Each structure stands twice: as C-alpha cells, then as structure tokens.
Chain A
Amino acid sequence: MLFGRKDRKAITIADKQVVEWKYTTCGYCSTGCSIDVGLDAEGKAVATRGTADADVNRGKLCIKGVFEHHLFDSAGRGLAPLMREKTFDPYQKTDWDSALDKTASEIKRIQKTYGRDSFAVVSTGQILTEEFYTLGKLVRGCIGTNNYDGNTTLCMASAVSGYKRSFGSDGPPGCYDDFEHTDCLIAFGSNLPEQHPIIYWRLKEALEKRKFPLIVVDPRVTMLAQFADIHLPITPGTDVVLINSLMYVILDEGLEDRDYINAHTDGIEAVEAAVKGYDPVSAAKVCGIDEDTIRTVARIYAKAGAAMSIWTMGINQSTHGSDGVVNINNLNLITGNIGKPGSTSLSITGQCNAMGTREWSSCSGLPGYRYLENQADRDKIADYWGIDESFFPEKRGLQQTDIFSAIETGEIKGLWLVATNPMTSMPNTSRIRKILEKLEFLVVQDTYGDVETNQYSHVYLPGAVWAEKEGCFTNTERRVNLVRAVVKPKGDSKTDFWIFNQMAKRFSNGEKIHFPETSSEAFQEMAELSKGEGRTLDISGMTHDKIEEARGIQWPFSEDDEGLKGNPRLYTDGHFQTKSGKANLIPVIFKDNNECPDEQYPFWMNSGRVVEHFHSRTKTGKIGNLNKFSPTPYMEMNPDAARDLGVDHQSYVRITSRRGDAVVMVQLTQRVPRNMVFIPFHFHDCVNRVSLGLLDEHSRQPAFKQCAIRIEPIDQALAGQLNAERRTF
C-alpha cells in the first residue's frame, strides 16, 4: 500500500524478449532516421528503437518510426500475385511466372500496337535506391519507353527543377548541422513538428543551445508558426511576391553580399530589374504581409551572419513551385548564403527515398543526375550497360502528371504503377478514375493489396515492404543510409529488386545488360557510375558495410575520401554545376493563375500532412496506435465563418468545388483564417475529390494546396454512414 505492505505485489512490465537488434533506416519520410529493429528468439520483429549513435536522429524516433515494425504484419498486405482479364472480374491468385509473363506480354503487345512510348511506368519515392537503379535499367534499357516517371512529381519536382535552374544540378546543398551554425532561419510552407518531427527536434536542440530568429511563412498557424519569432500568415500562392519584396528591400538598402554576387552568380541585373515592381507597399497588397514586417524580415535575414531557408510543400505544391524555389535560391545567393555552415537553401524532402529516385532511377534522365539530352551521358550509360546508345531517347518524356493526361487523350494505353496510389494521391479523383478506366492494361506493384488503385488493375504484384529488403535510402541532407533486411517478405510477396530482375529477363535487352543478383552488387555499379571529375553526386567511396558502420554517409564521398565522413555541404567553394560554374540568378515574375475564392466558392482549400499518417494511409491507416489520432477525414475551419453558415464543431459538412465533393468532419479552430479551410490529404475519397492541382510550368507538379471550395450542409446520419463506408482501413 502506501510504502510498507507485507504482501508484495508483482511489478510486471512488458518484456518483448528481444534477442537481437538489426540496423535499418526508416522507410517513411526523408529525414533518414536510423532504426534498430528488435527480433525475438523466433526472429519476429517485436520492437523498434532509434539508433543512439546515428547522427541524424541520435536515438530519437517520431511516432511513425516507433511503430514501424508493425508494418511487417499489418492488414491488407498482398500475399500472392493476382490476375484478371477485365477489371470488373474478381481477382484470381496466380504464380509469379504467370503474372510476370502476362505483364511482359501486355507491355510488348501495347508497345507493338501503339508505339514504344504508349506504355508508361510511374514509380515512387518509397523503394530502395538499388531498386530504383534496377528499375531505370529495366525501363530505359529494356522496355524502352520514354514515359517513365516517379511520384516525386507530386512532391519534390519543384525543388528539383528549382535546384537545376539555379545551381545547374539537383541536390540539396545543406544539412541538419546548419541549424547549429545559422543566425536566422526562414521556413517557407514547412511545418517541421508535424511533417518532419526529428528535423524539428534537431532545430529545437540548436535553438536551446543558441537562440536565433525563427521566421515562419505559412497561411495556417501551425505549431512551428506559433513558436516562431515572426509568423508571416501569407495569402496562399503569393510566396514569390514576398520573396521579391524581401529582395527589393535588401537590394534597395544595400544589404546584399555584392562580393559573393559578383564572384559566384550570373544574372543579378535581371533580378534587380524584376524586383523593382515589388516594393513592400505594393507587395503587401498581394501577399497580405504588411510592409513594415517585410522590411523587418528582410533586414534580419540579410544582416544575419549566416542565414538559411528551408521549405517543403508550401512552396513545391503550388503553381509557382519551381519559381518559388528559384526565388529562395535567389534570396540566398544575393545574401551570400549558400555553401557555408548555417547558410543554405534546404528543401525538406518528403518520401524516404525521393532523393534516391532523383539520383538513380533514370526517371528524369539517366543514372547519377545524367541527362538524356546530353550525348556524352547517353554514351556513357549505354556503354556501361552494354546496349546501343540509340535505344535511349534524346529528350526526356512525360512526367507523371502529363502521363495521366496522355492516357486521357489515348496516347498511352498501358501503365505500370510501382508503390504509388494515384487514386488517393493525385488531384481530381473523378478524373483519375476515368483515366484509369481507359487503360488497356494496368499493373499495380505494391506492398498492399488493398491499395485503392488496385480497383483498376489487371495484374497485381505484391511487393515486400521496407526492411524485408536490403538497400539504401538517401535523405534530405544527401545522406545515403542502409536498410538491412530484418525479416523475410510476408507470404509470397517479393522484393521490388527481384521483381525488376525477373521482368528484365523477359525482354531482349535484359540478356545484354547485367542485372546483379544482390543489391550490394547493384550498389557497386552505382558507385562506379558516380565517379567522375567535378561530379557532386559521387558515392564511389561507399559500400553497404561502410554505410552501416558510419550510420549513413553524405555524398559527395569519393573513393579518395578518408574515414567515413562524407561532405555535409555542396558548393562550399562557390563553384556550381552550371556551364559557367556560377549560379544562375533568375528573375521571377508573379502570375496569379490560382483558382482564388470567389462568391460561388468562397473558401481557400489548403491541404497538408498530419504527423500520425503517411501519404495515402496504406501503411499508417492499419496501425491503431497511429491511426487513432485521426481515423477519419476532418477539416479545420474558422469558427467565425462557421457561425455564419450554421456549421457546428464536430458535425459533418459536404465541401464542393468545380471538380466534385467530399464529406468531412468539421474541427472549428482559429488556426485557419476566415476564408480558408485545411484538410489533411491522407484520406482516400476526400481532399482530392475537390482539389484542382494546376501544374507548375517548369516542374509539372500539381498545386495541391490552392483551390476554391464552398461548404454545403449534409444530413448528419447520411454523412456518418458515408464516412464509415469510405473507411475500409
């Protein structure tokens, strides 16, 4: 009882009987945390813990990582390949050979009938780098379609495009350690506590050691916005106006780093001319941030010894995504904030291996940041793979969003989806449904048999998940980290690596090109291909074992580098990957092409992520200890606006747009302005039934975050029923 009791009560604390911890890297976001998975005596994964000596997460994990071992046994996993003739037929179980033969013959039939590019492949940011490299070999080298892209077009394409335009090459130049050195940080449309909790923790640790100004640009009062020293509640879609105005003040007041501009950039005159029209008085009217605040922020940023910018989907997922990135780069270039500790333009990436696909999948070109448009690159890869150079197209084909349009117009007849779920993730679901219905052949390769896109597939290939496989992920700060195979693939599911290798055998070039049996051999091929004078993407010093020992190595890390520490920053010497070796300053002019609220559709619809879910919820919707924090779709709405419409807290409404409708539960909160709602994007049959997704002209990324909706009443009983019916997981 109170201290002294005679009959001792047992103290029982759960003991998972872990006998071995195996090293892996988290398979959710791109923070790149190292995770130990605990196995019991029977080899079952029963626990996870953050690897204590890993530099990225230093023993910490976010909520998703904590329960990641539940993925192996989660509901909805595909356990055998499935096939059917028509999408209205029920699926029949089949064996791998039949499924692969069928797929290969359909690809060949469609290519023969309609042309090589009439079959498209859309992959992901989820699988391992070695798998991406292998898929690239298969698609570029064997299948030979030019309509091949990754779903990174939905999240990081604008960052890639912006980096390429400014610096001549993709690759985030900074790292998390920059938080320890910076004197000012601006976060544009990035909500670290919700989206990248571990990166937030690294930032918080730095702030607790040494306080520096934190400025957050976000139309919603996120936790990060609330904790910021200055929060700029910007009008959606006007970031480039704000940045132009910041540059106006900096240039006007002579706060720029003229030496850096002269030494390392081209194009300052054009930028100077462009920002002339964005004085704070005019800009304030467009972006909704008052002129004094614009001046204050510009001065703090320019006067800081070292300043850095981070951004996520608030920039990327808008009609000016690529321009926004370019403009952030402009801001950092004119203040000399690139390539120094605490000075950087750091895009905070989304998927665990969005970087891996950008680097090695050949989606946007050829492996290792090589371009199809470049004869030398085509020669190099054709030679290395042992095929004819003419097999490669001379120009990159369509991106994911344009591939779907090409299906709509009938140019593309067959599609292979690898670990991506456009039925939930792409804007305008009703259009996507129509598009998928048009396909003569759809093969879905995914860990989950219940992935919604499977409704329209003819063949389903069950892929292994995360640490059922072995290979690498590259994180936001260019750190290549290792996933060890911890358990065997569930049921008859197979690693994506194996699936690609088997598929290659079914194409004639598959016999010419060497497809290694193990992922570490594939890694060695990549390491070999990464060698070369002046290349930033150099991983030639790495092997799987070295990566594990170092708990991840940041590229560039060449075979000549000593020790196990890679290079934390790019462009430290002020030399860029452009022809001139200088960074491009590119003028950005604001064009207001968003679907803004009007009388008919009076609310901005903003979307984003919540910490407990990942993407289209196929993983997290089945893990109770994650899903319970938001098991159904909901919408943040301002109480003042709700009062006008008679909408109650925790009641349902129907939201409508020019595309369609969705049913959501209302959460009233002053976190959002009167003319805006916020809806998490994870739920099937929800936000993307109404979203527009205008495409960025450079990156072809959809502007998920800006469209206009109206709010209609709905019968509460019917809405409850619909809500329950629409949640199959």
Chain B
Amino acid sequence: MIDLLVKARDRLDQIGADTKPKNTEARPHFEVRDSEQGYAKLYDPTAEKENRYGVKIDLLDLTKETLPEALPKDRSMHINENPEVGSNPNRNKQHGFHFTADNCIGCHACEAACSEKNDNPAHIAFRSVGYVEGGSYPDYKRLNISMACNHCDDPVCLKGCPTRAYTKHAEYGAVLQDSDTCFGCGYCTWVCPYNAPQLDPIKGEVSKCNMCVDRLEEGLKPACVSACLGNALDFGVIENTPESREQTKTSIPGFPDPSITQPNIRFQQTRSMPDEMSRTDSMPLKYHKEEDGTFRSVVDEKAGKDKSWNLARLSSRENPLVMFTMCTQAVIGAFLMTFLGPLLGIDAFTAVKESAVYFPMLISLIVIQAGVLVLSTLHLGKPLRFYRGFNNLRYSPLSREALGIAMFFTGLAGYTFFEILNVWLDHWFLDAVVIVLGAFATLSALIGLYFMHCIYRIEARPFWNHWQVLTSFFGTMFSVGGILLGLFVITSMAIQGEDYSVLLSILGGLVAIGLVAESIGLVSHARYLNTESGEGAAAHYIQSTTFGKTYLLRNSLIGLGVITSIAVAVIAPSGWMAMTLVVLLSLTVVAALFAGRALFYILVIPTTMPGAFFWKNKGFEQHARDIGLADMPQVGVVPDLH
C-alpha cells in the first residue's frame, strides 16, 4: 500500500520536472587554483570527539548508533550528480562557522560572495548581515552580525518540513534542502530561529545555504568565509578554535537562544559592549546585558504607547490560513455535534438529523471544507505539488495535520454519501457503515486539530508557543462550530415554525464552553507574554499598541459573547428575543474570533537575527511596497503579489 502511494507520488513528481540530462561524469567539484591563498583553505589538523552538547563530531560514529547500517566513509554526495568523492580528510566530521563579532565591519562581502556563487536574485540571500548598536556618541558601538544557516545538530527545519526536502548529511553535517522537492509552504522559515531558509515568493520555493559543500569537498572554505574582509568569518570542524582566535562562545548579543537547535556556530566577542544594544530595524526588540555578561532580548517600545486600530492591517498574506483554520475548526465542530449528539442520546440533535436541513447542511459543510482546503493549497508556492505534504509523517506536525484533516474530509464526505444512500436503501449495513465513517471522521478531526495546534508550538516563535493555541483551536470548534450548526438548523426550524428552544439552549451552552476556553487561554497567554522577555513580549507590545484598540474590542466582544451565550443557554429563548440574541451572538463571536485569528498570525515575532536599516527590515520592506519602490527589482523587496 505504502509502496503504491510512493510510486504514485514519484509518478506525479515527474510531471513538469526538469528532464535535461544531467552530467554524471566524475569531475572536480570546484576549481582549486595553484595560487589559492591560505585563508581559503580548510585547516583542521585535530578535532574534538564530542561537541559541547555531548554530540559526536565524527558523523560516522554518530550514525553508527542511530542507523541499522553504518554509513560508508567514501560516500559520494552527488553534488550536481557528480559522483566524485571529495578529497577532504575531515568530510565526515560536523563542521560549522566561527564568527569573530569583534572584527566584522559590515562590508557585505560575505553576502555578496554567497549570492554571486549561488546566483541569487536581490530578494534572496542565504547569508545576511544585520547589526545591533548602543552607547552614546562618541562612545558608540555597533556590532555587526553575519548569519547564514548554522547546520544545527537538531535541525528544526528538517523536522518541520512536510515534504522531506531537507537532509542532514553525514558529510560535514550539512543540512541541505532540495528546492525541487519543496512545495513552498514556508513552514521551515517559521521554525528556524535564524532566518536561514529563504522563501522565494516568485519561484514559490525555499532555498538556503548549502555550506558550499562543493568547495569543502576540494578542501576550500565556503565562499563567504573566503571573501571576508574583516577576518571575522571562519569555518572548520566544530569546536575547533581557529588560528589566532581564543573564544568559541555559543552566543552574542542579538543571537537567539542556542538551546533550541544546538546550532553549529561559535563566536568570539571580547570587546566590551554597552549595557543596552538596540536594533535599527522595525522589530520592537533590544538586548540587555545580564549579570553574567550575556544579552537577553527585551521589548523596545519603538512605536510609543499610543493605542491604534489598524483594522486594514488585519488583512495579511496569511489570510488563507485564517480562513482555513477557522472554517476547518467550525466545520469539525458542526459535524461532531451533529454526529455525536444523537449518539449521546440528546434528543434535540436527533431532531436535527431528522430535519429537512440535515442533508443540505452536510453538503454545505463538505463545500466549506473543500473550499478552505483549496484555499490553503493555493497558499503553497507550488499548489500542484500538494500531495508532497504527507511525506514527513515521522517528524512534521504539518504532515500529520494535513493527513488528519484530509482523513476527516474523506470521512465527512463518505459519511454524507452513505447517509444519503441510506435514505434510499435503508439497510442496517449502511447504518453501520455510517457509524464507522462518522467515528473515523471524528477521530481524524480530533487528531488533525491537535496537530494543527502543534504546528504553532514553535520555540522560535514565543508568541505562539503557548497552550492557548490548543484552547483557541478547540474552543473555536465549539463556538463557531455551534454557531455554524445553529445558523442552518435554528433558521430552518424557525421558518418551519418548529420549537427550537431546547436546541438553542444546548448550542448556546456549547458556544459558551468554546468561548470560556478561549478566554481562559487568552488570559493565561497575556500573562505568559508579559512575563516572557523578548519576542513574545514584543508581540504583546504590538498587540496592545499598534492594534491596541482592536485588541480591546476583540476582548470585549469575547466577553459579550460569553455573557450572551450563557444567557441563551439559561433562558432558552424563543421568538424575536431568540432571533435577536442569535444574530447578536453570531456577529459578535465571528467578528471577535476572526479578528483574533488574524492577530494571531500578524503579531508573531520570530527570534530572527537583527536586520539592517534597509535590508532585512520588515518596516522598510512594507514601506517600499506601500510607496511603489518595491516595483524596481533592484530594491530587493518583492512587491505585493496579490
């Protein structure tokens, strides 16, 4: 079965693939000149056994423990299908960058050499230089930071990628990504704390630093290192201290917590820095010196304290995800109530099954679910490659979520089909099939929803990394699910003059459960953000200033929703009062939750590296799009594509 699926996938992959014959002759990976200078050559006469995290540096040794079969020493990397095996004696050791922050002059030579070698357009960079600065004239210090991929011990990109485009190689420990396999979901760009994977919205795929493994195979350091003009960047077997350097620290101001991924980069930074280092980009973050001399990220209230609405900015490129998550959760909620209600012996739900609106409702749920599935697929860089989303069930929450929701959709569609068939045939066997399919859809939905929540539990995105996501997603299932169901059933019953007060009361209760769960989550989340230093608190700062009024309104609406829904549940109203409350509740909840979900995507501040004034400055990028400057490709900002 699996084999068959894999074959089908491979067949699909052939469509539109590059069929040009590849040069498979053995040849040098990179030209080494006789006159090559010493700085360009790798030099690691010795190596440690283990890195500071206790991970073996010899990758053949390391893999012996984890793989059923030991990897061969002289395995070709097949760079550009070249079968040649490199001459580098250390090729099976974990390598990494060494950055002497004291020396970086911010001259961009590393970035330039990288982009030249990799033929990258202006808007894509595998390596970027940003800076933090502090002090008071003339006692002013700028600390430039050049950062690419750190080829981590624990590559979260690899684990997150649903398509299995990433491989961590036993050669150099390089974490390499295959842009052909990638379908451009951008999830790796969410999970990486260092902003290493680069999503190209034009090509619809991610690419990233390849460690210049072609140069490494010939004993040359990566292009960026060889190009460095400040003698700041170096490269070699990890934990080795380069010549005339004396430190191998794991952090400098502005660098995210290394415990997330155990990045293979070491630093030297001996010059004293001011107590506070600020960022020139628009991120409301700065770095404060702790007692032990390390720097911790804290909020920088760059935009003042004024509270604004900024309602227009609620619409972002993540709109499809807002729609997808909200609608999926609502559809699941509505289905679960319809399916489980009668099974739990709640008469009011049995009445739903028997009402005229039952089948139209099921079909509507299918249509809505199909619609948002298409929407989320179109959100991909390469929508036609959507089937690759299931490649990484072993590690990726995205793969698992996708499978869960796909199974739910199948279950829902099957359930509906056999329910309709059963009206016609009315056979006990179909009754059983319907139950099984309903149970299958229920289970898939719950699994899907759980993994949907896991997608956002990313250490590099502290704003998301809280259980509030769980209460929000399942809460929405109850609240918006209840409203969705109510809209169909209550309306229909009211038109037909049936008594809906009991059902309305129950739905009111379910909506209340959802909203209370959401509220509890949000209160705890706000507390967590206020105590959490750094990116989470910065997101909260934006939430309570840039979107301050929107945020307050959202919270008030949820409060109003809680009161209204409890009132509905307790009073079990009917007539004009019921209609008024239903309309009020629906509008309130839908507005509040959609706004909240939009904020959820907009507000997140990742633990990225500091940018510069123009380059890698989100504020400038947005401005360049707003004034039309981004329409010139040499500005290096991709204009709005929609």
Contacts and interface: CB of A to CB of B under 8 A. Distances in A.
Interface in A141-160: none
Contacts of B633: 624
Contacts of B86: none
Q: Is the interface of A mostly helix, strand, loop or mixed?
A: loop
B371 to A, nearest CB: 34
A624 B37 contact: no
A579 B508 CA distance: 105
Given A66-B227, A631-B624, A631-B636, A52 B33 contact: yes
B178 A10 contact: yes
B116 A47 contact: yes
Nearest to A628: B636
A14 B119 contact: yes
A674 B137 contact: yes
A492 to B, nearest CB: 25
Contacts of B109: 60-63, 66, 197
Q: Is the interface of B mostly helix, strand, loop or mixed?
A: loop
Given A47-B116, A223-B106, A1 B138 contact: no
Contacts of B167: 1, 5, 9
Contacts of B134: 670
A296 interface: no
B614 A631 contact: yes
Interface string A40-61: 0000000110001100001111
B227 A53 contact: no
B169 A10 contact: no
B138 A673 contact: yes
B168 A2 contact: yes
A9 B615 CA distance: 32
Contacts of A626: 112
A543 to B, nearest CB: 22
Contacts of B120: 625
B21 to A, nearest CB: 14
Contacts of A14: 117-119
A3 B63 contact: yes
A12 B178 CA distance: 7
B620 interface: yes
Interface in B80-111: 80-81, 103, 105-109, 111
A649 B278 CA distance: 12
A634 B612 CA distance: 13
Nearest to B181: A9
B614 A205 contact: no
A59 B105 CA distance: 19
Given A9-B165, A11-B78, A649 B302 contact: yes
B105 A12 contact: no
B158 interface: yes
A204 B180 contact: no
B557 to A, nearest CB: 32
A621 interface: yes
Interface string A666-686: 010111111000000000000
Nearest to B168: A2
Contact of A58 (B37, B168, B634): B37
B60 to A, nearest CB: 10
Contacts of B634: 621-624, 627-628, 631, 729
Contacts of B627: 720-721, 723-724
Contact of A625 (B122, B155, B179): B122
A663 B142 CA distance: 26
Interface in A1-35: 1-5, 8-16
Contact of B137 (A4, A634, A670): A670
Contacts of A729: 632, 634
Given A11-B213, A66-B112, A723-B629, A650 B620 contact: yes
Given A59-B36, A197-B107, A628-B123, 17 more contacts: A5-B167, A13-B213, A13-B214, A52-B40, A53-B35, A61-B227, A193-B106, A201-B230, A204-B230, A226-B140, A226-B141, A611-B108, A625-B122, A629-B614, A631-B635, A650-B619, A729-B632
13 contacts: A1-B395, A8-B78, A10-B81, A12-B180, A52-B36, A53-B35, A66-B112, A204-B103, A624-B122, A624-B633, A629-B108, A631-B614, A727-B629
Interface of B: 33, 35-37, 39-40, 59, 62-63, 66-67, 69, 71, 77-81, 103, 105-109, 111-113, 115-123, 133-138, 140-142, 144, 155, 158, 164-170, 176, 178-181, 210, 212-214, 226-227, 229-231, 244, 280, 282, 302, 394-395, 612-615, 617, 619-620, 623-624, 626-629, 632-637
